[in-house]
Structure 1
């Protein structure tokens, strides 16, 4: 499928590698973790960095805010929401922290944070820290499943958790959930969960780290209370860049950036509402000015074609890997959980996932985990990286599809994983 990348028509697949800078022989089957930006975007980012270094004060004080506004304008149009609701932060975890650490919890100890058991690790740590830092003011309520699970069951369990929270005398204040979870990669019914939160009067914090560029985000119809999405993963921007969306109704809650910086205004000195203009020259609201010193560099185009190619490749490639391994992919009955550009495949390993049994005996060094043994050997002997992780008592691998990959890469991945699994089992026998 041809893709016009800055006036250079290129077919999806290995031809697209010409626009990236991967090392010879390296197969990037893990785009989902850190993304990869095309050379021309990197060149533009380096051009701006050089401009900053040659004239730092003029660039930082005047040029950078102008460029940032241009990026915000492009992103607001891309997401179909007002420019006043869009700012940039370094990554999705920063956005999640910004929301949760700005929350003012009630002193009666009845507030609860609702979360799924597949919450991203760092975000789960954040909710734990928020609870610890606030004493007994706030608690978490986790909703767990045996996966795969259909969307209606997730929505039903979420509704029941809200009801149970209130029945137990608590107050469900905010719910955090993903568009697509990380490990395992599961497309979640985020639209239905957001609607449920609206109906129940619970704030919705949508962790769309894997959202923008991978799935269509219609924020007008979705209308989350807060959303953060990494642009450097699936939108090909330079690292690190994430869009942070806060509708105007909730901007007064976001008192401070992390860390607190020049844009913060104390309540004792604030003489106008949060909608006042704090920058007379550029007419920016407090919310926008507060987040101004965060880098953002956006390129958009061909999104539907990219998504269609990557999702189809992921479906076909994932099935091929499962066939080679003699296992299966993690998929629910309706096949909605795999409607994305990442796929989880069961590894044919008998190794336990808990306790000392999950350690590989080191010949010349310390014992290491199965995850580290697999991933280190991938890098050393196969010039690739694929996330390996324990889940529900088994070992799984997550593969990412992208425009520079083809089915042959997934077939190669299947053979590579099979060899690694066989070597590991021989070591343990």
Structure 2
């Protein structure tokens, strides 16, 4: 094989990664991972910072940061001036919501399922500002039409209460269950209804194709460390020029703070060369230096993109393979368990599932959970029906056994009346990896039926 040829996907790709040979990484989606060349790039930046701390922090770092912002902007079809880095998607969403400075009578709408930390952030914000939050409640599987209907219904109900719907938070790809959310459609609804769209695309960049010029969200944040192969922690926050005036502080507030005209004067930034010609917007400067932290992960974006282009064959190849292997793997696991893969209801034979157009898939385990009132009616015959109390103990036990005894991990969670597991497709995985874990899951489910998790 020529040195210029990409490495084949599957087991040959593992040579570029740092995983323990005894460990099978089936849960790339939760925390991501980065390959050896990106690790080497990060350590070179860290070494430079240690050799010349002041020149690096006061000068070099900003230059490298600009190159990284330019690279990521090109990838998502945005302007460099619209893209800044934050630590993660949760931080990005929290920063946007804090800066929106909700006033009495203003409301925020979000969707269930929601990423837990984001919901906790919304509740925390309610404790400090005059924010009313309303939730669009639903369970998967659900059609896009029904999801939009429920969204509009909550919008209208909230307005009927006399509240102004100021913004809405929703996912690009939901975390649990791991499904593609119709974020393009909901962004259009927000635009039509005069609502600011805040998209939590924690699983977006490097996972699915993104085009900010086409999508036109009001705010969009996406982790680079999950699917783009940068080190942790690194996320891109996209804010179009029309909305940058909303963002005046980072979390925590740091040197780039943009005070209100009526605010007291503050000390000028000690990190900025006061004699230099400033070509950056206040928004760009706001996020350039946020307290003293190791931001070397941010400037590894070019190294990650180089690896993806030269070793993996480019974005199209990566996205296509990860999606295909995730779906093939899910079908294989469901066949072994005798269950099903989560997708929209009522699909015709051969019709593609929109929910499954990503590298996360969900397989139902043959374990049901009893309802609180005891009026159970299951669409399928369960291997065992667990009580409300036993269900979390059981899926915690399954996850621990996967880690301790089988040297891998899959998220196991309750959704509706069943336990489910989530699979992540990735370039270093093959269908056989999912077939192997399917047999493990079948054995663990049978042991749950025997109540071994209570031993």
Same fold (TM over 0.5): yes
The aligned counterpart of 2:235 is 242
- Which has the larger displacement, 110-119 or 291-300? 291-300
Distance 1:129 1:152 in 2: 32
Contact 2:113-2:139 at 8 Å conserved across structures: no
1:421 to 445, 448, 451: 445
2:107 to 97, 109, 112: 112
- Which has the larger displacement, 27-36 or 290-299? 290-299
- Which has the larger displacement, 327-336 or 387-396? 327-336
- Which has the larger displacement, 289-298 or 300-309? 289-298
Q: CA deviation at 1:67?
A: 0.4
Structure 1 residues 197-276: aligned runs within 5 Å:
197-267=190-260, 268=263
Structure 1 residues 48-67: aligned runs within 5 Å:
48-67=45-64
Distance 2:124 2:146 in 1: 29
The aligned counterpart of 2:44 is 47
1:169 to 129, 140, 162: 162
Partner SS, residue 326 of structure 2: helix
The aligned counterpart of 1:274 is none
1:285 to 281, 287, 300: 281
- Which has the larger displacement, 345-354 or 378-387? 345-354
Distance 2:92 2:393 in 1: 31
The aligned counterpart of 1:24 is 21
Instruction: Render the CA deviation track for 1:384-423: whole Å, top value 9, x for unaligned.
Output: 0100111112111101000000000010111111111112
- Which has the larger displacement, 297-306 or 314-323? 297-306
Q: CA deviation at 1:269?
A: 5.8
The aligned counterpart of 2:322 is 310
Q: CA deviation at 1:161?
A: 1.7
2:404 to 365, 369, 380: 380
Contact 1:314-1:341 at 8 Å conserved across structures: yes
- Which has the larger displacement, 377-386 or 297-306? 297-306
Q: Identify unmatched segments of 5+ residues in structure 1.
A: 272-276, 362-367
Q: Verify: 1:129 aligned to 2:155, yes or no.
A: no
The aligned counterpart of 1:157 is 150
Contact 1:115-1:177 at 8 Å conserved across structures: yes
Counterparts in 2 of 1:160 and 1:358: CA distance versus 1, 3 Å: closer
1:340 to 344, 355, 358: 358
Contact 1:359-1:370 at 8 Å conserved across structures: no
Distance 1:313 1:248 in 2: 38
Q: How many residues align?
A: 411
Partner SS, residue 330 of structure 1: coil
Partner SS, residue 9 of structure 1: coil
Contact 1:360-1:373 at 8 Å conserved across structures: no
Q: CA deviation at 1:282?
A: 4.5
Q: Identify unmatched segments of 5+ residues in structure 2.
A: 267-271, 348-352, 374-385
Contact 2:83-2:238 at 8 Å conserved across structures: yes
Structure 1 residues 66-105: aligned runs within 5 Å:
66-105=63-102
The aligned counterpart of 2:335 is 323
Instruction: Render the CA deviation track for 1:225-248: whole Å, top value 9, x for unaligned.
Output: 000000011101111100000111
Distance 2:371 2:436 in 1: 26
Contact 1:278-1:284 at 8 Å conserved across structures: no
